[in-house]
Homo-oligomer: A and B are copies of this chain.
Amino acid sequence: MVQQRLDRIFSALADPTRREVLVRLGSAPATISDLAEPFAISLTGMKKHIRVLEEAGLVVTEKIGRSRRCRLGTERLDDAMAWISFYQRLWGRRLDGLDAYFTLEKGTEQ
């Protein structure tokens, strides 16, 4: 279901720590402890964030020895991008509508 995927993706992106984790994983995989360290956040807190990102397909984790390694998942945000583009077209059309309205108003004044 595209709708449920969009719900999960936009939800996952609605947090500054989760967005920062994605940026960090964009340069190299990291363990949950590595990820938690720069934030004033507990391991449990970071695990929760990682679970949200994992459910959205944005992160994949694997157990290596006693730690869990995280890397970027397969979700490329194409649907999220498509939705936003669609909205921007709607928004543009709204402005076109307003332009048309003001042109009409101006025409009426003359």
Interface residues of A (CB under 8 A from B): 3, 6-8, 10-11, 13-16, 19, 22-23, 26-27, 71-72, 76-77, 80-81, 83-88, 90-91, 93-94
Contacts and interface: CB of A to CB of B under 8 A. Distances in A.
B88 A81 contact: yes
A30 to B, nearest CB: 13
A27 to B, nearest CB: 8
Contact of A90 (B13, B26, B81, B87): B26
A77 B82 CA distance: 12
A87 B76 CA distance: 8
Nearest to A74: B91
Nearest to A7: B14
